[in-house]
Amino acid sequence: MATITQSSARYEVWLRSRLGADLVEEDLTRKHMKMRANSFAFLRATYWRFAETIFDICPDFANAPQLLAIGDTHLENFGTWRDVEGRLVWGANDFDDAAVMPYALDLIRLAASALLALTDSGPPAETVVGAILTGYLRGIQTPMPVILERDHKTLRNALILPDGERRKFWEKFAALPVGTRPAPAAYAEALQASLPDGCAAYVPRPRTAGTGSLGRPRFIAYTDWQGGPMLREAKAMLQSAWSLAHAPDDHAVHATEIADGRMRCADPHYKLIGSVLVRRLSPSSTKIEIDRNPELLLSPEMLDLMGFEIGNCHVNDPAAGLSIIRDIKARKADWLATAAKAVAAAVSAEQKAWSHAS
């Protein structure tokens, strides 16, 4: 097996071959710094490595039932958006690496991310993993979008920004500088196609965000429409790192396919235009971050809901539920905890190796 340094260099060669001059080199430097910070950030930044190594770490899952899965699941891959009815919805919100893979990998990666984020004051590892699996089984059997308009009061209150934070949100984007060169045509055209008629003039501006996607170009359109500000973001999309490792002939981007699944209340502004993903940014599109609210993010109730949402995503195929339940029943009771601990240990070891090497 290649070392993490060799693997990272190889993956970045592939990125450059796909993005060419659009690749944002300074953002790759930021990613490398985040990878040195801690094991949770390292896991977020290295989905390609998870795809390469998971069957070496957890070989028992190679033959588990396959379906279209999220891929890069972790604690911070959940947030809010407004649906076509204007309702506030919560769920998985990053599908850059969606691909067909064994169902269990979404659960293992989420559980491993939670174990890496745990502190001594957090819940026991068994409680964390048990909550995820309990929620997942409920989602597989009784899937339903997570609508925050009436239910889930605690989560709704945690995610709705107060007036001061809303003002800071708009000020942050208004202050983004224009880039040193114009946005490439693909991004400028995708942004324009995503906006309603009658918007004020704007210039696409580059934006740095995310962890695993650092290096891919992002541009925003900040404009006014009918008396108020509005935002769109355009981001480069590439072949899933899972497909790159396991199905190299599958170059399709599956993000909107899973985001628009039958048991999800989709964001109507989440669209793939060519190879560019466009989405709406707003104070209603928020997420809980581990460094700001670890108690809520690692609470059994929150982890249960994350597992439930993974179930919502997985039952896009109505027949998937029965085969998954059969597979789970055939495994030992501690299968998820054992696998998550193994992945967390492997990630921690590679994070230390990366930090020492760099």
DSSP letters, 310-355, are HHHHHTTSTTHHHHHHHHHHTS-TTHHHHHHHHHHHHHHHHHHHHH
* pLDDT at 292 exceeding the cut of 90: no
Model confidence pLDDT, tens digit, residues 50-82? 999 999 999 999 999 999 999 999 999 999 999
In the DSSP assignment, the letter for residue 20 is: G
Cβ atoms of residues 112 and 323 within 8 Å: no
Q: Where are the beta strands (DSSP E) in the chain?
A: 66-69, 78-82, 88-92, 99-102, 146-147, 205-206, 218-225, 228-236, 271-273, 276-281
Q: In what order do the strands lie in the sheet with 78-82?
A: 78-82, 88-92, 146-147
Cβ atoms of residues 329 and 13 within 8 Å: no
Instruction: Tell me what the mean pLDDT of segment 7-28 comes to.
Output: 97
* pLDDT at 310 exceeding the cut of 90: yes
* pLDDT at 317 exceeding the cut of 90: no
Cβ atoms of residues 49 and 1 within 8 Å: no
pLDDT of residue 120: 79
pLDDT of residue 122: 80
Q: Which residues of 43-80 are buried (b: 16+ CB within 10 A; e: fewer)?
A: bbbbbbbbbbbbeebbeebeebbbbbbbbbbbbbbbbb
pLDDT of residue 319: 87
CA distance 306 to 77: 9
Model confidence pLDDT, tens digit, residues 156-175? 999 999 999 999 999 999 99
Contacts of 74 (CB under 8 A, 6+ apart): 40, 43, 44, 109, 110, 113
Model confidence pLDDT, tens digit, residues 240-256? 999 999 999 999 999 99
Contacts of 305 (CB under 8 A, 6+ apart): 90, 135, 146, 152, 155
CA distance 314 to 327: 14
* pLDDT at 121 exceeding the cut of 80: no
pLDDT of residue 35: 97
What percentage of the chain exceeds 70 in pLDDT?
A: 100
* Alpha carbon distances (Å) from 44 to 76, 213, 220: 9, 9, 23
Nearest to 129 by CA among 144, 109, 143: 109
Residue type for position 348 = S
Under the banding of pLDDT at 50, 70 and 90, the label for residue 119 is confident
pLDDT of residue 109: 98
Model confidence pLDDT, tens digit, residues 253-278? 999 999 999 999 999 999 999 999 99
- Tell the burial category of 275 from Cβ atoms under 10 Å away from its Cβ (0-12, 13-18, 19+): middle
pLDDT of residue 123: 87
Nearest to 262 by CA among 306, 305, 311: 311
Under the banding of pLDDT at 50, 70 and 90, the label for residue 114 is very high
- Tell the burial category of 86 from Cβ atoms under 10 Å away from its Cβ (0-12, 13-18, 19+): exposed
pTM, entire model: 0.97
Residue type for position 291 = D
Cβ atoms of residues 146 and 308 within 8 Å: yes
